[in-house]
């Protein structure tokens, strides 16, 4: 081991046996040996990383990528199939809170039980008792049985014990969501304190803000392999970009599936080249519309800045709407309109051709296409509702969709609210 | 040796698990911890009634003859039958936190052992009241016999609890085994009642020398024979070794199996 490292993981692999039909009884063992097919699921496939003493490192990745398994290997709950894990110093894990709590015993007695499971001796617990009680803020309740505690009090006590276990290496699995906002802030503060005091911390979390602000290094694990590791903000950005792409793919897939279910030709939905599409079907088959039907919207398609049909938008990119319409009764002029709403009905934006002094001449036409071009939306990530309409020159609705379809805007920023604009913070 | 150091480092965990078990067991009951004493006393009363009124036999004070052997037997049998499930019962903890896995069976057996020691106080009190002279030169051998039994029970608990993680059937199976085992051990009768031919077979039972030694000390008030003690020690060492080796092999995959 290098002297500056607290943890060295080399080429660790781990796989689990997954039984398709786990028969363990004698009858099943004897009769259905073929049924007991098991597949070896590789959870970790050659992972290597080092953590320096005093470093705070985050393991990130989507669910089931192997990050929790890595943590379990570090705590020695499990052992790797091959490879080595070396650690220097006393290890404490905050994976399970309140282990061994006995509901009928007092908070104070449970402190002794729980802390002893972390490997503390009686004297060490005696020394920390006041700290633990103060941190949990349960002064008046500490001698009451734990079963009388609210769930918040229970978790506060459990966390107070876990965080007061002195360790050289602290392993934490997604447990910061404890108690109310004040208590969370306190936990966070305490972790900062531990970090400053030189404790090595390995954290598994989905909260990328915590990763960026708390950890100096991040390791992104995907399908049992390390995709990239390095400076936390860089790794997080790469990871988020990847996850957004995955999300868009998933949304498209879901939409395609729904179209199939609705009996609509699914292959028409997602072609890269809109020109190839003969029968545009972006329309939500369940959308409600009204109007005199003198002119109808055949489809209103959402296109990205490259004019490719999409279902999700990047808020910092231009986009287009393409109205394909059909005229059933001859008309000289039509007004095209669009609007965007939040899911709870707040009208964010709306416009139409007349408001923009554009005259759509439809004299003698039976069908046609109108494009609407929009600069970047700068909306926060989430789902929005697209409204679209064709109105006669005298404002009688021809075909009016209050909710034509839902648009997904990819999450780009961590601020709160509906819209994004460039801001900065300074310290004097 | 490493394991002994580790268990020493986690001594507070063992202590508090034993404490939790003993204190927690009777929490919420009116008599509370007193149950630890009342329980054997009531059992003794039942046996006294059955064997001095209904099922009378030739042995003098049969209820005492039985009871001095039954208390240590109950300790051993609960370590084997209930102890089989002790790892499984702590599955949640085991999957989430690291501690030496041996802590669980060690605390289970220790808490049963403490229970037996408390019952022994009742036994001694009853012996005194019944007018049995408790001889000092016999009684000094008690701790040794108890320690040997502790390690036999620990070895067995290590073995069955680790195997039960993989095959749950063992836990149910042990219930029957233990019942049969009791009849194969001179608990309800003396070794002298056993037909001559079968005695060598009885000597293969690791619990035989232990129970015989208890009865020698408490009921007959005599020093156990050296031969009895030696065979008890040998059984203790073998069982502890086998139990520990099995446990160490199997513990590696506990978290995955649970």
State pLDDT tens for residues B136-164: 888 899 999 999 999 999 999 999 999 99
Whether residue B9 lies within 8 A of chain A, CB to CB, comes out as: yes
Residue B71 lies in a domain: yes
> Measured between CA atoms, how close is B144 to chain A, in angstroms?
28
At a CB cut-off of 8 Å and minimum separation 6, what does B238 contact?
Answer: B206
Total count of domains within chain B: 1
Whether residue B222 lies within 8 A of chain A, CB to CB, comes out as: no
Residue B241 lies in a domain: yes
Cβ distance A24 to B168 less than 8 Å, yes or no, reads yes
Nearest CB among B12, B24, B95 relative to A120 is that of B12
Cβ distance B255 to A93 less than 8 Å, yes or no, reads no
Burial B122-148 (b: 16+ CB within 10 A, else e): bbbebbeeeebeeeeebeebbeebbeb
Q: What is the pTM of this model?
A: 0.70
Cβ distance B93 to A16 less than 8 Å, yes or no, reads no
DSSP for B150-162, written as a single string:
HHHHHHHHHHHHH
Q: What separation, in Å, do the N-terminal and C-terminal C-alpha atoms of chain B show?
A: 27
Q: How far is CA A274 from the centre of its chain?
A: 31
Residue B18 lies in a domain: no
A79 to chain B: closest CA residue: B252
pLDDT category, B42, cuts 50, 70, 90? Answer: confident
Residue B14 lies in a domain: no
Nearest CB among B16, B27, B98 relative to A116 is that of B16
pLDDT at residue A271 above 50?
no
B89 to chain A: closest CA residue: A100
ipTM over 0.95: no
Nearest CB among A16, A75, A116 relative to B98 is that of A75
Q: pLDDT at position A90, please?
A: 82
Cβ distance A112 to B16 less than 8 Å, yes or no, reads yes
Domains of chain A (ranges; CATH) run 5-89+168-234 (3.40.50.300), 288-413 (2.70.50.60)
Least confident of A70-79, A167-176, B63-72, B245-254: A167-176
B21 to chain A: closest CA residue: A102
pLDDT category, A23, cuts 50, 70, 90? Answer: low
| Angstrom distance (rounded) from CA A46 to CA A43 | 10
SS3 A93: strand
Question: By C-alpha distance, which of A161, A166, A239, A175 is closest to A204?
Answer: A175
> Measured between CA atoms, how close is A59 to chain B, in angstroms?
18
Range of the domain at B231: 31-257
Cβ distance A113 to B252 less than 8 Å, yes or no, reads no
pLDDT category, A281, cuts 50, 70, 90? Answer: very low
Whether residue B26 lies within 8 A of chain A, CB to CB, comes out as: no
Cβ distance A105 to B97 less than 8 Å, yes or no, reads no
> Measured between CA atoms, how close is A339 to chain B, in angstroms?
51
Sign of CA dihedral A400, A403, A407, A409: positive
A18 to chain B: closest CA residue: B256
pLDDT tens digit string along A292-306?
888 889 888 899 888
Cβ distance B12 to A122 less than 8 Å, yes or no, reads yes
Residue B25 lies in a domain: no
CB pairs under 8 A between A and B: 80
Cβ distance A113 to B10 less than 8 Å, yes or no, reads no
Residue B225 lies in a domain: yes
Residue B60 lies in a domain: yes
Q: What is the mean pLDDT of residues A112-117?
A: 88
Residue B74 lies in a domain: yes
Cβ distance B96 to A76 less than 8 Å, yes or no, reads no
Least confident of A144-158, B24-38, B226-240: B24-38
Q: pLDDT at position A325, please?
A: 92
Question: By C-alpha distance, which of B237, B229, B178, B231 is closest to B204?
Answer: B231
Higher pLDDT, A219 or A236: A219
Distances, alpha carbon A203 to alpha carbons A151, A169, B153, in Å? 24, 11, 41
Cβ distance B96 to A24 less than 8 Å, yes or no, reads no
Asked if residue A9 lies in contact with residue A72, where contact means CB atoms within 8 angstroms, the answer is: no
Q: Which residues of B touch A119 (CB under 8 A)?
A: 9-10, 13, 99
Mutate to test the interface with B, among A69, A72, A100, A124 (most CBs of B within 10 A): A100
> Measured between CA atoms, how close is A116 to chain B, in angstroms?
4
Whether residue B27 lies within 8 A of chain A, CB to CB, comes out as: yes
Cβ distance A100 to B12 less than 8 Å, yes or no, reads no
Nearest CB among B13, B20, B256 relative to A16 is that of B256
> Measured between CA atoms, how close is B81 to chain A, in angstroms?
20
Whether residue B2 lies within 8 A of chain A, CB to CB, comes out as: no
């Amino acid at each position: 081991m290098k002297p500056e490292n607290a943890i060295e993981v080399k080429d660790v692999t781990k796989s689990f046996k997954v039984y398709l039909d786990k028969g363990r009884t004698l009858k099943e063992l004897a009769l259905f040996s073929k049924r007991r097919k098991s597949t070896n699921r590789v959870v970790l496939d050659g992972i290597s990383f080092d953590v320096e003493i005093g470093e705070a490192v985050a393991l990130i990745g989507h669910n089931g990528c192997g990050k929790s398994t890595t943590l379990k290997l570090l705590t020695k709950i499990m052992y790797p199939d091959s490879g080595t894990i070396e650690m220097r110093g006393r290890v404490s894990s905050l994976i399970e809170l309140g282990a061994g709590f006995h509901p009928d015993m007092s908070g104070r007695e449970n402190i002794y039980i729980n802390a002893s499971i972390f490997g503390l001796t009686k004297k060490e617990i005696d020394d920390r008792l006041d700290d633990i009680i103060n941190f949990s803020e349960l002064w008046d309740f500490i001698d009451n049985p734990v079963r009388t505690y609210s769930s918040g009090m229970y978790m506060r006590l459990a966390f107070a014990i876990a965080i007061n276990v002195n360790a050289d290496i602290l392993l934490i699995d997604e447990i910061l969501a404890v108690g109310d906002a004040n208590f969370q802030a306190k936990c966070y503060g305490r972790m900062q304190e531990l970090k400053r005091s030189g404790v090595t911390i390995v954290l598994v979390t989905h909260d990328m803000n915590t990763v960026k602000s708390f950890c100096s290094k991040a390791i992104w694990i995907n399908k049992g392999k390390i995709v990239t590791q390095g400076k936390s903000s860089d790794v997080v950005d790469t990871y988020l970009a990847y996850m957004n792409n995955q999300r868009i793919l998933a949304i498209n897939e879901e939409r395609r599936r729904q179209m199939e279910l609705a009996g609509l030709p699914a292959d028409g939905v997602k072609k890269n080249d809109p020109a190839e599409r003969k029968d545009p079907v972006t329309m939500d088959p369940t959308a409600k519309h009204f109007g005199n039907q003198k002119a109808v919207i055949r489809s209103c398609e959402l296109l990205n800045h490259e004019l490719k049909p999409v279902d999700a938008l990047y808020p910092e990119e231009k986009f287009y709407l393409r109205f394909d319409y059909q005229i059933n009764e001859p008309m000289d002029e039509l007004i095209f309109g669009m609007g965007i709403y939040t899911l709870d009905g707040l009208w964010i934006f709306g416009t139409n051709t007349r408001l923009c002094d554009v005259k759509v001449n439809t004299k003698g036409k039976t069908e046609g296409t109108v494009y609407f071009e929009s600069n970047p939306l700068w909306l926060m990530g989430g789902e929005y509702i697209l409204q679209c309409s064709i109105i006669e020159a005298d404002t009688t609705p021809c075909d009016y969709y209050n909710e034509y379809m839902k648009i997904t805007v990819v999450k780009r920023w961590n601020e709160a609210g509906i819209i994004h604009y460039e801001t900065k913070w300074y310290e004097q | 040796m490493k394991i002994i150091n580790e268990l020493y480092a986690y001594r507070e965990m063992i202590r508090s698990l034993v404490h939790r078990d003993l204190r927690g067991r009777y929490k919420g009951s009116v008599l509370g911890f007193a149950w630890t004493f009342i329980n054997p006393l009531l059992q003794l009363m039942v046996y006294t009634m059955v064997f001095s009124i209904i099922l009378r036999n030739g042995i003098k004070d049969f209820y005492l003859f039985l009871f001095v052997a039954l208390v240590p037997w109950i300790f051993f049998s609960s370590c084997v039958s209930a102890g089989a499930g002790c790892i499984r019962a702590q599955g949640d903890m085991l999957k989430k936190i690291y501690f030496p896995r041996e802590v669980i069976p060690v605390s289970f057996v220790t808490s049963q052992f403490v229970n037996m020691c408390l019952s022994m106080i009742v036994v001694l009190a009853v012996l005194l009241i019944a007018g049995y002279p408790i001889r000092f030169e016999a009684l000094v051998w008690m701790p040794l016999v108890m320690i040997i039994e502790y390690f036999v029970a620990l070895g067995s608990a290590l073995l069955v609890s680790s195997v039960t993680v993989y095959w749950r059937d063992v836990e149910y199976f042990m219930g029957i085994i233990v019942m049969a085992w009791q009849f194969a051990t001179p608990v309800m009768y003396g070794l002298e009642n056993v037909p001559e031919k079968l005695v060598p077979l009885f000597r293969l039972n690791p619990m035989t020398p232990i129970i015989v030694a208890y009865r020698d000390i408490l009921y007959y008030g005599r020093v156990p024979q050296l031969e009895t003690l030696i065979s008890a020690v040998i059984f203790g060492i073998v069982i502890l070794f086998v139990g520990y080796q099995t446990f160490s092999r199997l513990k590696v995959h506990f978290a995955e199996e649970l």
